[in-house]
Structure 1
Amino acid sequence: MDALSPLDRLGAELRRRRMDAGLTQDRLAVLAGYPKGRTIISKCERGRELPSERFIERIDAVLEADGAIIKLYRQAEAARLRHAADDLAPPEDTEVPQSGLATVPRLDRTPDLQALSGECAPAAKEDTADRRQLLQGGLTASLGGMSAASFESLTEAGDSLGLLGVRPGCRIDAEIVDILAGRVHALRLADDVLAGGDLIGPAFRELASAVQLCRESRYAQDVGQALLTQVGELAQIAGWIASDAGRHDQAEHAYTVGISAARQANDGPLVAHLMSSLAYQLANTGRRRESIDLAQAAIKDAGRKAPARTRALFFDRLAWTYTQASEPQPAIRALGAAHDALTDDRDDAPQWAYWVSSDELDVMDARVYTEMHRPLRAVPLLNDALGRYNSTHTREVALYRSWLAIALADANEPEQAAVEARRVLTLSAGVPSNRTADRSRVVLRRLHDFGGVPEVSELLEDYGHLLGGRRPNVNERGPTDARLMSD
Structure 2
Amino acid sequence: MISTDRRKQFGAYLAGLRHHAGRSQRQLAALLCAAFGTESITRNEVSRWERGGRVPEVWLPGLAHVLGVPPHELEQAAAYARGARTTLPGVTATLADLVPDGDVLKALKAPGGRRIGITAVDELAARVHGLRLADDVLSGGDLIAPAFRELRSVVRLFRESDHSEDTRRQLLVQIGELGQIAGWIASDGGRGKDAERAYRLGISAARQAGDNTLVANLAGSLGYHLSNTGREREGLELARAAVAEAGPDAPAPARALFLDRVAWACTRVGEVQPALRALGEAHEALAGSTGPAAPTWAYWVSREELEIMDARVFTELRRPLRAVPLLRDVLGRYDATHLREMALYRSWLAVALADANEPEQAAEEGRRVVDAAGGMSSERTVERARVVLRRLREHEDVPEVREVLADHGHLLLA
Equivalent residues of 1:401, 1:424 under 8 A apart = yes
Once residues 72 and 197 of structure 1 are traced to their aligned partners in structure 2, the CA distance between those partners, rounded to angstroms, is 12
Equivalent in the alignment of 1:293: 237
Deviations 1:407-449 (A, max 9, x none): 0000000011011101111111111111111000010011111
Once residues 78 and 449 of structure 1 are traced to their aligned partners in structure 2, the CA distance between those partners, rounded to angstroms, is 40
Equivalent in the alignment of 2:6: none
Matched, 1:336 2:280: yes
**Cα distance change, pair 366–207 in 1 and its aligned pair in 2 (3 A):** same
Report the number of matched residues. 336
Using structure 1 for the length normalisation, give the TM-score. 0.66
Q: How many angstroms does 1:169 deviate by?
A: 2.5
Counterpart among 298, 309, 314 of residue 364 in structure 1: 309
Matched, 1:224 2:240: no
Q: Which sections of structure 2, spanning at least 5 residues, go unmatched?
A: 1-68
Matched, 1:314 2:331: no
Once residues 63 and 464 of structure 1 are traced to their aligned partners in structure 2, the CA distance between those partners, rounded to angstroms, is 30
Once residues 310 and 171 of structure 1 are traced to their aligned partners in structure 2, the CA distance between those partners, rounded to angstroms, is 34
Equivalent in the alignment of 1:61: 73
Once residues 380 and 62 of structure 1 are traced to their aligned partners in structure 2, the CA distance between those partners, rounded to angstroms, is 46
Deviations 1:77-113 (A, max 9, x none): 75652238732279xxxxxxxxxxxxxxxxxxxxxxx
Once residues 285 and 62 of structure 1 are traced to their aligned partners in structure 2, the CA distance between those partners, rounded to angstroms, is 30
Matched, 1:274 2:218: yes
Equivalent residues of 2:76, 2:86 under 8 A apart = no
Once residues 322 and 73 of structure 2 are traced to their aligned partners in structure 1, the CA distance between those partners, rounded to angstroms, is 52
Name the amino acid aligned to 1:178. D
Counterpart among 71, 84, 98 of residue 81 in structure 1: 98
**Cα distance change, pair 79–329 in 1 and its aligned pair in 2 (3 A):** closer
Once residues 135 and 199 of structure 2 are traced to their aligned partners in structure 1, the CA distance between those partners, rounded to angstroms, is 17
Identity %: 60
Task: Out of 460-469 and 321-330, give the one that drifted further.
Answer: 460-469
Equivalent in the alignment of 1:468: 413
Larger Rg: 1
Q: How does 1:370-449 map to 2 (within 5 A)?
A: 370-449=315-394
Q: Give the match's secondary structure for 1:83.
A: coil
Q: Give the match's secondary structure for 1:71.
A: coil
Once residues 77 and 315 of structure 2 are traced to their aligned partners in structure 1, the CA distance between those partners, rounded to angstroms, is 49
Name the amino acid aligned to 1:460. L
Equivalent residues of 1:84, 1:215 under 8 A apart = no
Q: How many angstroms does 1:304 deviate by?
A: 1.3
Alignment RMSD, CA only? 2.3
Q: Give the match's secondary structure for 1:373.
A: coil
**Cα distance change, pair 335–79 in 1 and its aligned pair in 2 (3 A):** closer
Matched, 1:263 2:263: no
**Cα distance change, pair 177–84 in 1 and its aligned pair in 2 (3 A):** farther
**Cα distance change, pair 89–455 in 1 and its aligned pair in 2 (3 A):** farther
Equivalent in the alignment of 2:404: 459
Equivalent residues of 2:189, 2:377 under 8 A apart = yes
Matched, 1:214 2:158: yes
Name the amino acid aligned to 2:103. D
Q: How many angstroms does 1:461 deviate by?
A: 0.7
Equivalent residues of 1:84, 1:211 under 8 A apart = no
Equivalent residues of 1:309, 1:341 under 8 A apart = yes
Using structure 2 for the length normalisation, give the TM-score. 0.77
Equivalent residues of 1:309, 1:345 under 8 A apart = no
Larger helix fraction of residues: 2
Equivalent in the alignment of 1:351: 296
Q: How many angstroms does 1:178 deviate by?
A: 0.2
Equivalent residues of 2:252, 2:286 under 8 A apart = yes
Equivalent in the alignment of 1:157: none
Equivalent residues of 2:182, 2:195 under 8 A apart = yes
**Cα distance change, pair 455–286 in 1 and its aligned pair in 2 (3 A):** same
Q: How many angstroms does 1:246 deviate by?
A: 1.2
**Cα distance change, pair 59–464 in 1 and its aligned pair in 2 (3 A):** closer
Q: Which sections of structure 1, spanning at least 5 residues, go unmatched?
A: 1-56, 91-167, 470-487
